[in-house]
Chain A
Amino acid sequence: MSDESRMLLTDCLEVLKAAREDEVVISVMGTAREWSKISDHPLDLIYVPSSMGQATALGLGVALSQPSRRVVVCQGDGSLLMNLGSLVTITAHAPKNLTVLLFDNGVYEVTGIQQTLAASDFRRDEQSICYASLARSCGFQVVHEFASVDDWQVGVKECLSEDGPVFVVIKTTPMTENLSPKSPGPAAERIRNFAAALQVED
């Protein structure tokens, strides 16, 4: 896919912010870096520091314990590759209230934009791995793909409200500057506040 058919991560997250009501939003790596600049909601978990690949698992746990809340996990393709089995775990437990947003830029962005092994340059057939197909094969019955901001704007509300688990592939272009995510404050204190907000009756 050419860069012309990919979106800016920042534009995509602005669309999510505009559509977001009272959903839990867990962001990690590049998405955490950008989400923390535009959102300061009690139900945000800026998952920095993280254990790479574990955002989907963390989101599954929150979704299972809070079935009346929509949980949205924002992560990149590099993170997902660290824990592909989590997709099978998610669909086995099938929480209706979980949406996984995969921001697919084809690279490990925060470490300096190295291509992942799923990118076309590493594939014998020169075809990058199709995460939508992968998600379907892992048992996701609701899968969406977006390659333009206009389409994402039209589809975002449905992705946040339909019965899940929902898997969404959003094609983005890698950022090039200020790539490292930063913790917005002491991790233990932030997560205590997040838990307190989560456990308030909605």
Chain B
Amino acid sequence: MGITHVVFLPDSTLGMWEESMMAADGLEVVRVCREGEAWAIAAGLHLGGAKPVVMIQCTGLFESGDALRNVIHDYKLPLFGVIGYRSYLSQASLPGDTCLTFTEPILDAWKLDYRFIDTPDKLSMMAEHYEQCRQTNQPGIALIAEGKA
């Protein structure tokens, strides 16, 4: 897929991917302190010729609003994100988690074209959507259902 950097803040699900990403040849993991800066870092990487992906939880998507608006809509950069959808598969630890209320409306509000992946058989949609976004030079999101908070 040609991805060079994953700009990343771990959550309890995506954090389990970090070791594999760190071990992958040709892939740099760029950890951040807060999700908003992930989009600006990815923008800078993209401008310099790299192929970054932002990987954060939906709570970080909420925090990212202005940064996302700026790079995606002001500057029209075709950045791609992988967003963890907190509590979608289980609300055992956070009953009534409002992430379920706001995640998809927020993606719609920011006019982001996303694919929702809630079962293992849909995982191939992530690569397919990424490739489609690259070919059309458009931003995109893979929304990954999570079970842990």
Residues of B within 8 A of A199 (CB): 48-49
Q: Give the residue among B7, B52, B66, B75 with the most A Cβ atoms within 10 A.
A: B75
Q: Does B27 contact A (CB under 8 A)?
A: no
Separation of A57 and B47 alpha carbons in the complex (Å): 13
Q: Which residues A1-54 have CB closer than 8 A to chain B?
A: 49-54
Q: Does B55 contact A (CB under 8 A)?
A: no
| Given A50-B70, A54-B70, 17 extra CB contacts under 8 A | A51-B36, A51-B66, A51-B69, A54-B36, A54-B40, A55-B40, A57-B41, A60-B44, A61-B44, A62-B45, A65-B46, A83-B37, A85-B32, A89-B32, A89-B41, A187-B75, A188-B74
**A89 and B33 within 8 A (CB):** yes
Q: Does B149 contact A (CB under 8 A)?
A: no
Instruction: Output the least CB separation between A22 and chain B (Å).
Output: 15
Residues of A within 8 A of B77 (CB): 191
Separation of A191 and B70 alpha carbons in the complex (Å): 12
Residues of B within 8 A of A59 (CB): 44
Given A54-B40, A57-B40, A60-B41, A66–B75 Cβ distance below 8 Å? Answer: no
Of B41, B69, B70, B74, the residue contacting A61 (CB under 8 A) is B41
- B-to-A contact residues, CB < 8 Å: 4-5, 7, 28, 30-34, 36-50, 52, 66-67, 69-71, 74-77
**B47 and A88 within 8 A (CB):** no
Residues of A within 8 A of B47 (CB): 61-62, 65, 191, 194-195, 198
Enumerate 13 A-B pairs (CB-CB under 8 Å) in ascending A order: A49-B70, A51-B66, A51-B67, A57-B67, A61-B41, A61-B42, A64-B5, A66-B48, A66-B49, A83-B37, A88-B33, A89-B33, A92-B31
Separation of A89 and B50 alpha carbons in the complex (Å): 19
Residues of A within 8 A of B44 (CB): 57-65
Residues of B within 8 A of A54 (CB): 36-37, 39-40, 67, 70
Q: Does A93 contact B (CB under 8 A)?
A: yes
Residues of B within 8 A of A85 (CB): 32-34, 37
Residues of A within 8 A of B32 (CB): 57, 85, 89
Q: Does A116 contact B (CB under 8 A)?
A: no
Separation of A128 and B34 alpha carbons in the complex (Å): 25
Instruction: Output the least CB separation between A100 and chain B (Å).
Output: 13
10 nearest A-B residue pairs (beta carbon):
A61-B44, A65-B48, A85-B33, A57-B40, A54-B40, A51-B70, A57-B37, A62-B44, A61-B41, A188-B76
Q: Does A86 contact B (CB under 8 A)?
A: yes
Separation of A53 and B76 alpha carbons in the complex (Å): 19
Separation of A83 and B34 alpha carbons in the complex (Å): 9
Q: Which residues A83-111 have CB closer than 8 A to chain B?
A: 83, 85-86, 88-89, 92-93
Instruction: Output the least CB separation between B39 and chain A (Å).
Output: 8
